[in-house]
Amino acid sequence: MGKTLFEKIWDTHIVQEVTDGPSVLYIDKHFIHEVTSPQAFKGIEDRGISIFRPAQVVATADHNVPTLNQHLPITDALSRFQVDTLIENCKKHGIELYGLGHEHQGIVHVIGPELGITQPGMTIVCGDSHTSTHGAFGTIAFGIGTSEVEMVFASQCLLQTKPKLMRINIEGALGKGVVSKDIILYIIAKISASGATGYFVEYAGSVVRALSMEARMTICNMSIEMGARGGLIAPDQTTFDYIKGRTFAPAGAAWDTALAYWQTLYSDADAAFDVELTIDAAAIEPMITYGTNPGLGIGITKNVPTAADMQDDGEQKNLEKALQYMGLTAGQSLMGMPVQHVFIGSCTNSRIEDLRLVASLVKGKTKHPNVQVMIVPGSQKVAKQVVQEGLDIIFKEAGFEIRQAGCSACLGMNEDKVPAGEYCVSTSNRNFEGRQGAGARTLLASPLTAAASAVTGVITDVRTLL
Amino acid sequence: MNKINTIHSRFVPLQEENVDTDQIIPARFLKATTREGFGKNLFRDWRYHNDNELEPKQDFILNDASYNGQILVAGKNFGCGSSREHAAWAIKDYGFLVVVSSFFADIFKNNALNNGLLPITVSEAFLASIFALDKEATLSVCLEKQTITIDATGAVETFDINAYKKTCLLNGYDDIDYLISNKAAIENFEKNRA
């Protein structure tokens, strides 16, 4: 029987099988950032050992950095200390750091691909659950905890149990105004926030094949929001074209060798999956979430569910609690509801293509006066490209504020927060209680829907503006 | 790492599903560079009004002194969301040694196991029977036998745990000891694939 894409990569990275236990899995690339690494560095030092393969570790500062005045010392003392600790640790252990001010700095899941570090067939980990993003290149990429960061420091390996495999085929034609964020929000709403726990998910089908790398990354990024440890997509010409010529991409003869290998990375026709689903793209509308987990989403023209739509008492209670937090009523429509904030950024939707989408919609328009709009590019490179392409002028004329690269209001670790009780249409990945600030109410949506809502000041079906 | 085998304790019932790691430990507390001291901020925004320890939310279970114990019992999909290990550290630092749920998110489960915090997955029915107990009731956990028992009724359920992880917890070993002991195999693997 044939192998799945996942198995082809997994099998070539197994150092050792452990009897009745997990396998020793070799890790090609290890991304680290300031928040989940300091305790791992300390652990290594306490054990009196050194980092086994420092050249395979790449660091950046993204989660806990300001998005204003990055050339000045960080004002928050704890944040400054954490970022300084990363600088010191990287220096001490010989790790390449793309810190604040470096031209390669940015959100870890944006810079890995854009620098050509992320390549098909690799195993990639990072102390961040959205490491699944890199799966868009046909990699096994997943988030790990800090103890696991320490394990990779110590051995360039992890003990892992092989996950179950799911394939989600997306077929048919996408409607007007429907983009990859809508696809993944639709899938999560369909199978729930825990529907893929224990699985790695391969996304396939004609719709996926037609997507750009940026759009594929958005889909793989949110795999974790349905519980999957990771998501992946077989590399193809779109992937190869994206990688070619990037800073750390192979070149010359090395490119030919790499390409020959990459072209073998697909699930064989007779490969078996534990679960297989097919999604009809035509059924997907622009999506928006109404609740406090990413599975609580609806098509923009649909009404918020009622208790009668829920399957059991537990779900009913969850719905009630979520709606209470969100200040919403069962059965209501979201369209036309005023919003106070729009956040465009995060490892889900802060790439140049996302910002081009936003610009295409807002060009010649201005934001509604009651809405504050923040655009946070995913990296220094993206920020530079925004200026080169003149998108910054479109955004400024629209009254959007452009910040510097970082995770920003996606997780509310720095100053970029949404005030309690206010609504934010956000292109990020989580709408948990307090995620964007204590009491903040997050509505997840695509960059297009976010842009549309910024212009109208209310939750808007973007198709009415196209 | 601490060893775990038998635990006999009262429990704290948190009857919520999809408890995400942002609730367990909000992001603003992740600025620390050590593993210690997260317990005081466990479930911070469910515990206090206005982020103020002087304004406890009376209806939140951790603020009800009549509930206590080393076992936290919660609804399904516990620990979903972020990979922050701070969530496991906070639960442990608060004083829990065991978390019981009908379903755990993957990364949280690994993080717990790597910190001597035992995640026990039970059936929905067994979970419901724990939630139905009165607050004085006790539970007994035996990792060696892989059992969890409701002491008052004698109802017992066995739970799954990876044999390797079980050995680690029983003996206080961690994965790094194991991985370092296999360095020759890792170097050999690197040589062969080059």
- How many contacts does A have with B, using Cβ atoms within 8 A? 179
Pairing of strands A57-60, A29-32: parallel
**Smallest CA–CA distance from A147 into chain B, residue:** B114
For the record, the structure tokens of B179 come out as 């991985």
pLDDT of residue B36: 95
**Chain center to CA of B112:** 5
Band of the pLDDT at A311, cuts 50, 70, 90? Answer: confident
Q: What is the pLDDT of residue A66?
A: 96
Amino acid A324: pLDDT = 98
What digits encode the pLDDT tens for the residues B64-97? 999 999 999 999 999 999 999 999 999 999 999 9
Given B23, B163, B175, which is nearest A433 (Cβ)?
Answer: B23
- Condensed to tens digits (0 to 9), the pLDDT of residues A398-439 reads 999 999 999 999 999 999 999 999 999 999 999 999 999 999
Q: Is B164 in contact with A22 (Cβ distance < 8 A)?
A: yes
* pLDDT beyond 90 at B110: yes
Q: What is the pLDDT of residue A314?
A: 84
Enumerate residues 6+ apart whose C-beta is below 8 A from A215: A179, A180, A353
State the pLDDT confidence band at B194, using cuts at 50, 70 and 90. Answer: confident
Both tokens of A408, joined, read 């920003």
Q: Single out the residue of B115, B105, B110, B84 nearest to residue A64, CA to CA.
A: B84
Average pLDDT, stretch B14-25? 96
Pair A433, B45: CB distance under 8 Å: yes
> What is the spatial distance between Cα A132 and Cα A109, in angstroms, rounded to a whole number?
9
Token couple for A402: 């452009």
Q: Give percent of chain B above pLDDT 70.
A: 100
Looking at residue B2, its pLDDT comes to: 86
* φ, ψ dihedrals at A230, nearest 5°: -160, 165
Return the pLDDT at B186: 97
Please report which confidence band the pLDDT of residue A1 belongs to, taking 50, 70 and 90 as the band edges: confident
B40-56 pLDDT tens trace: 999 999 999 999 999 99
Q: What is the rounded average pLDDT of the residues B110-116?
A: 96
Look at residue B150 in the predicted model and tell me its pLDDT.
98
Decide: residue B144, CB within 10 A, 0-12 exposed, 13-18 middle, 19+ buried.
exposed
A147/B105 touch (CB, cutoff 8 Å), yes or no: no
Q: Do residues A231 and A135 make contact, with C-beta atoms less than 8 angstroms apart?
A: yes
Neighbours of A397 (CB within 10 A): 14
The amino acid present at A409, given as its one-letter code, is A
Contact B27 A411 (CB under 8 A): yes
**Helix, strand or coil for residue A304?**
coil
- Report the distance separating Cα B5 and Cα B149, nearest Å: 14
State percent of chain A over pLDDT 90: 97
B-facing residues of A in 128-187 (CB < 8 A) are 128-129, 131, 143-148, 150-151, 154-159, 161, 163
User: Residue A24 above 90 pLDDT?
Assistant: yes
Q: What is the pLDDT of residues A69-93, one digit of tens each?
A: 999 999 999 999 999 999 999 999 9
Residue of A159, A293, A317 to mutate, testing the B interface (most B Cβ within 10 Å of its Cβ): A159
Q: Which amino acid belongs to residue B14?
A: L
The 8-class DSSP code of residue B63 comes to G
Q: Summarize the confidence of residues A141-158 as an average pLDDT.
A: 98
- Given B28, B76, B106, which is nearest A229 (Cβ)? B106
What's the rounded mean pLDDT across residues A116-143? 98
Using DSSP bridges, classify how beta strands A199-204 and A230-232 pair: parallel, antiparallel or unpaired.
Answer: parallel
Cβ-based neighbours of B192, under 8 Å, separated by 6 or more: none
8 Å CB contact between A96 and A115: no
**B86: its two tokens:** 């701070």
Average pLDDT over residues B27-35: 95
**Confidence at A394, pLDDT banded by 50, 70, 90:** very high
pLDDT given for residue A18 in this prediction: 76
What would the mean pLDDT of A139-144 be, rounded to a whole number?
98
pLDDT score of B116 more than 80: yes
User: What ipTM was assigned to the predicted interfaces of this complex?
Assistant: 0.96
Q: By C-alpha distance, which of A292, A305, A310, A325 is closest to A225?
A: A292
Can you give the C-alpha Rg of chain A in angstroms? Answer: 21
Q: Which residues of B touch A321 (CB under 8 A)?
A: 16
* pLDDT tens readout for residues A333-381: 999 999 999 999 999 999 999 999 999 999 999 999 999 999 999 999 9
Please report which helix (H) or strand (E) contains residue B155, including its range. strand B155-158
Provide the b/e sequence for A28-62 (b: ≥16 CB within 10 Å).
Answer: bbbbbbbbbbbbbbbbbeeeeeebbbeeebbbbbb
Handedness of CA B78, B80, B85, B91 (dihedral sign): negative
Contact check, Cβ <8 Å, A435/B22: yes
Q: What is the average pLDDT value for chain A, to the nearest integer? A: 97
CA–CA gap between residue B107 and residue B92 (Å, rounded)? 16
List residues bridging with A138 in a β-sheet.
none
Q: Give the CA count within 13 Å in the CB-facing half-sphere of A148.
A: 30
pLDDT for res A172 = 97
Segment among A20-24, A134-138, A322-326, B110-114 with least mean pLDDT: A20-24
pLDDT computed for residue A406 by the predictor = 97
Phi, psi dihedral angles at A83 (to 5 degrees): -70, -40
> Mean of the pLDDT values across residues B10-29?
96
Q: Which residues pair with A296 in a beta bridge?
A: none
For B183, which residue in chain A has the nearest alpha carbon?
A: A155
Residue B103: name the closest of B84, B128, B81, B77 by CA: B77
| Terminal Cα-to-Cα distance of chain B (whole angstroms) | 36
Cα distances (Å, whole numbers) of residue A312 to A71, A319, A322, B23? 53, 11, 15, 23
A39 in reach of chain B (CB within 8 A): yes
What's the pTM value of the predicted model, to 2 decimals? 0.97
For residue A323, pLDDT over 90 is answered with: yes
Question: How do A230-232 and A164-171 pair as beta strands?
Answer: unpaired
Q: What is the pLDDT of residue A20?
A: 73
Q: Which residues share a beta bridge with B51?
A: none
Which of B123, B151, B120 lies closest to B138, judged by CA? B151
Residues of B in contact with A155 (CB under 8 A): 176, 179-180, 182-183, 186
pLDDT for A413 equals 93
Share of chain A above pLDDT 70, in %: 100
Compute the CA torsion angle A199, A205, A207, A210 (nearest 10 deg): 110
Per-residue model confidence (pLDDT) at position A21: 78
Q: Which regions of chain B does DSSP assign to beta strands (E)?
A: 6-14, 71-74, 98-101, 118-121, 138-142, 147-150, 155-158
Residue A287: pLDDT band with limits 50, 70, 90:
very high
Contact in structure between A128 and A107 (CB atoms under 8 Å): no
Cross-strand pairs, A123: A140
Tokens of A17: 């099988």
